Amino acid sequence: MTESDEQQLVTFLADMREGEALALAKKMIDGGHDPLRVLERCRDAMDIVGARYEAKEYFLPELMLAGEMLSEVSALAKPLIVTGGNGAKLSKGMVVIGTVHGDLHDIGKNIVSFMLDISGFTVIDLGVDVRPATFIEAINHNNPEIVGLSGFLTLAFDSMKETIDAFSEAGIRDRFKIMIGGGQMDERIREFTGADAFGKDAIEAVSLCNSWAGA
Amino acid sequence: MDKSPQELYQERLKRYEDAQAGRVPDRIPIPLFTVDFHARYAGYTLAETVYDGEKLSHSVEKTVLDFEPDCFEQQHTRNLIGHALDLVGYIPEKWPGGEIGDDDPFQYLDMEIMKGDEYDELINDPSWYFMRRMVPRTARNLRALEKFPNPTAFLYHGIVYNLAAFGTPEMKQAMDLMHEVGKLALSTIEAEKNFIRHMANKGFPAQRGGAMVCPFDAIVDFMRGAKGGMLDVMRRGDKLLAAIDAVTNTYTKYAIELATLQPSKTLFIPLHWGIDSFMSPDQFKTFYWPQLRRVINMTIEAGLTPMPFFEGDCTSRLEIIADVPPGKCTYLFESTDLFKAKKILGDVVCIRGGMPASLLIAGSVTEVEEHTRLLIKELGRGGGYIIDSSAAGIPREARFENVRAMFDTVKRYGVY
């Protein structure tokens, strides 16, 4: 019975059946179902959502709803978890990400953060208008394998270059891979900024991180 | 024998309009579409051109006279609004010299202004919703308008007691402020008219009349925000559709009416949310395209040329967006595959764009020349093509010599 409840929850979440998913999650938790297992099934459902997004069956509306359902179920389950883990799988690696100095746009970066998160990476999101010194501080503190620089405006080209130059000056450039992202990015701008790779959307970001993490 | 400015004006306008109508002009037209390149080119900070009308006019005139485009983007109503935005205390945007650096560009902040449970209020009475919800929430110094009475109550003796809302000191302050901002707006509009006339006398037509956003983007960009809007597609699609209709019947209709009063007959319609990676083909066909096509048709019926700007990559939409009356629209593209667009849309719309921002910013003169010649050869074939930079015009960071190379190459090799 509980086994099928768990399967049903994965299906409801993956198929965007929000009302049914929440009702079932509540019923399971109220009925004494292990909240950790409920969160693990959420992760399974997010894997399916991520795969459907990559397959271009799902788009931003589905991703946003998946994120909402995940927080709603987490809010039900997390208060009941007394000790131990948080339902997360072993992390594939750490990514420090932010929109570069001068640019206040965050829609694209947030989607990349969300996709990396549900793909098994630990994401430290520094927000928008992030100065090189702030990146360096976060990098020194967290020691990430990957740094993601996001930008929507063309001014971000210069900011990305300045940020990566600052990494070199601080002597940390070789400690991680750098990806730049945003609709305007191309190979010419990758070369201009000195990044290791560029991506135009969240799918490319996940695929880059997977390749660097050897996943 | 040199041509007079009037002859050059007519020649340039004809070149632009021939291409827009899908005909073969004497040469591929090249507009000077800028948002802020002119400021840097003329040696000003962005803040200077946002707060000082003379510097703005000088920067645009200098750039136009130096590059001699076939038409240019007027800038006053787009840029010369720093003082007015300061006065109203506009919340969802940052502008150069106001809270951000003097050389940081205008940036709209994604935020939820309309709440998810307010759709019925918007749908039932869009104008009143805007007056007492949108304006007070977006303009810090116009909060008093949340008490604005419903004008439909101004009947019979209602004309008296429903004006009570205007009797408070808060409302007087707001009305006084609107008067101040209104005076600034009037002078900006007047300055733009004079500037367009001035440049016409020098031989250069303006590239567009009005500008407006499409109904889906009006709601998602400016009211619900990215998260709210995307969730609405999933959770309350029927309400979103009804709201799009309501906004089309009010805002869009009005914007088109205003645009018909402008000298240039091109209406600029920047598009954000319809791109390939944002929504599915089915979502595009449900929430975006039918309503956009309606706007396009309304624009054409008003005697204007719609110029939607398809931001991002819309390559997968090409077959769908081909469904418009032939020879009536200009489609400006950002990163859509234009060679594919030429094949699919070439007989239907004028295609505009093609020069990547990255090339103008980080490429060499030779690379720009080569790419311009490729665009001329592939996209110019058979007319109906306007060359332009792909990032809402020429980016501010473009190398001057690269912009020069694009203009020179078109004028030399773009002749039919």
Using the beta-carbon criterion (under 8 Å), do A155 and B104 form an inter-chain contact? yes
Q: Could you tell me if A106 lies within 8 Å of chain B, comparing CB atoms?
A: yes
Each residue of A98-140: pLDDT tens digit?
Answer: 999 999 998 899 999 999 998 899 999 999 999 999 999 999 9
Q: Where are the domains of chain A?
A: 3-83, 94-213
Both tokens of residue A208? 């880059």
Nearest residue in B to A154, CA atom: B395
Each residue of A190-205: pLDDT tens digit?
Answer: 999 999 999 988 989 9
Nearest residue in A to B390, CA atom: A184
CA distance B171 to chain A (A): 33
Both tokens of residue B60? 């645009």
What count of other Cβ atoms lies within 10 Å of the Cβ of residue A133? 12
Q: Is the confidence at residue A87, as pLDDT, over 50?
A: no
Scan residues 259-278 of B and list those with Cβ closer than 8 Å to A: 277-278
Each residue of A28-52: pLDDT tens digit?
Answer: 999 999 999 999 999 999 999 999 9
A197-199, strands of its sheet edge to edge: A122-125, A94-99, A146-150, A177-181, A197-199
pLDDT in tens, chain B (416 residues): 789 999 999 999 999 999 999 999 999 999 999 999 999 999 999 999 999 999 999 999 999 999 999 999 999 999 999 999 999 999 999 999 988 999 999 999 999 999 999 999 999 999 999 999 999 999 999 999 999 999 999 999 999 999 999 999 999 999 999 999 999 999 999 999 999 999 999 999 999 998 999 999 999 999 999 999 999 999 999 999 999 999 998 999 999 999 998 888 999 999 999 999 999 999 999 999 999 999 999 999 999 999 999 999 999 999 999 999 999 999 999 999 999 999 999 999 999 999 999 999 999 999 999 999 999 999 999 999 999 998 789 999 999 999 999 999 999 999 99
- Determine the Cα–Cα distance for residues B107 and A155; give it in Å rounded to an integer: 12
Q: Is the confidence at residue A2, as pLDDT, over 80?
A: no
Residue identified by tokens 């020194």 is A140
Provide the pLDDT for residue B99: 86
Q: Could you tell me if B396 lies within 8 Å of chain A, comparing CB atoms?
A: yes
Classified by CATH at the fold level, domain A3-83 comes out as 1.10.1240
Each residue of B133-150: pLDDT tens digit?
Answer: 999 999 999 999 999 999
Provide the pLDDT for residue A89: 56
Provide the pLDDT for residue B282: 97
Q: With pLDDT > 90 as the criterion, what percentage of chain B qualifies?
A: 95
Q: Is the confidence at residue A86, as pLDDT, over 60?
A: no
ipTM associated with this complex? 0.92
**CATH architecture, domain defined by A94-213:** 3-Layer(aba) Sandwich (3.40)
Using the beta-carbon criterion (under 8 Å), do A157 and B334 form an inter-chain contact? no
List, in order, residues 6 or more apart from A194 with CB less than 8 Å away: A161, A164, A165, A168, A178
| B338-345 vs B365-379: helix crossing angle, rounded to 10 | 20
- Determine the Cα–Cα distance for residues A199 and A179; give it in Å rounded to an integer: 7
Residues of B in contact with A201 (CB under 8 A): 277
Of B318, B321, B311, B405, give the one whose Cα is nearest residue B353: B311
Q: Could you tell me if A16 lies within 8 Å of chain B, comparing CB atoms?
A: yes
What count of other Cβ atoms lies within 10 Å of the Cβ of residue A119? 22
What pTM value is reported for the model? 0.93
Using the beta-carbon criterion (under 8 Å), do B104 and A102 form an inter-chain contact? yes
Residues of B in contact with A56 (CB under 8 A): 280
List, in order, residues 6 or more apart from A12 with CB less than 8 Å away: A20, A21, A24
Using the beta-carbon criterion (under 8 Å), do B101 and A102 form an inter-chain contact? yes
